[in-house]
Amino acid sequence: MTNRMFPKGKEGLLSAAIRLDGTSTIKAVLLRGYTYNAAHQFVSDLGATVVATSPALVGLSITNGVVDADDTAWSAVAAGAACDSIALVQSSAVGGGADVAAGSQRLIMHITQRINVTAAALANSGATAITVDPLVSPLNNASTVVFGGVTATLTAPAAVGARTLAVSALSGSIPAGTVGLSSAQGGLPVTPTGANISMAWDNGANRIFSIAD
């Protein structure tokens, strides 16, 4: 599953019930074991998957449809199993102010730090390189991309815009046009130990997320 907006979050942005220009209070919610559901609209829909909530994000910007903010942190997150995703939420009323009840805090975006990767040409079984469409986000060394029944493991990092992935010898062929799903990047999943957890947003072209063309 890739990063994706909640449909009701899109609706809220288009109707101005959600504001990302610094008017509303926007926070990041750390989640454990959450499965994306397009019908979810409010933080209360996340149930027991909520582990921690950040302070209000500062430095919010929406330049050219790209949403960004200063890095943030969750304080003294109780030790427990790994947390594998984040929800971006509007915790206040649209005009700002104090947090409203969880049943009124609006969901905007579900962030897994996974990306889709499309094979641009046939990669034969045993190949150690895959030609792909330009990457929209960097991939780490030793990360994986699952193309159907074939898992490609990177042997070198790949930057934003890269057209070739260096990988361990493939166990099968990957036809051109196959869309693969990467493993999580940028620090997810993270296992709480009782200490603070810092969140550094992606510095790539899409930052936190983009609704640009």
- 61-92, pLDDT tens digit by residue? 999 999 999 999 999 999 999 999 999 999 99
Q: Print the domain residue range for 174.
A: 115-183
Task: Say if residue 13 is in the same domain as residue 76.
Answer: yes
Task: Give mean pLDDT, residues 42-55.
Answer: 98
Task: Give mean pLDDT, residues 96-123.
Answer: 96
Task: Say if residue 34 is in the same domain as residue 124.
Answer: no
Task: Say if residue 91 is in the same domain as residue 191.
Answer: yes
Beta bridge partners of 152: 145
Task: Say if residue 34 is in the same domain as residue 121.
Answer: no
Task: Say if residue 109 is in the same domain as residue 201.
Answer: yes
Beta bridge partners of 132: 119
Task: Say if residue 13 is in the same domain as residue 90.
Answer: yes
Predicted local distance difference test score (pLDDT) of residue 2: 67
How many domains, the chain? 2
Task: Give mean pLDDT, residues 108-123.
Answer: 95
Task: Say if residue 24 is in the same domain as residue 79.
Answer: yes
Q: Rounded to 5 degrees, what angle do the CA atoms 120, 139, 142 make?
A: 105
Task: Say if residue 127 is in the same domain as residue 154.
Answer: yes
**How far is 194 from 197, CA to CA, in rounded Å?**
9
Query: How does pLDDT run across 161-209, given as a tens digit for each residue?
Result: 999 999 999 999 999 999 999 998 878 899 999 999 999 888 777 788 8
**Mean pLDDT over all residues of the chain?**
94
Task: Say if residue 95 is in the same domain as residue 199.
Answer: yes
Largest CA distance in the chain: 58
pLDDT of 1 above 60: no
**How far is 102 from 48, CA to CA, in rounded Å?**
12
**Which residue in 23, 3, 192, 157 sits closest to 86, CA to CA?**
3
Task: Say if residue 70 is in the same domain as residue 147.
Answer: no
pLDDT of 213 above 70: no
Task: Say if residue 48 is in the same domain as residue 150.
Answer: no
Task: Say if residue 97 is in the same domain as residue 136.
Answer: no
pLDDT of 139 above 80: yes
Lowest mean pLDDT among 17-21, 62-66, 105-109, 122-126: 62-66
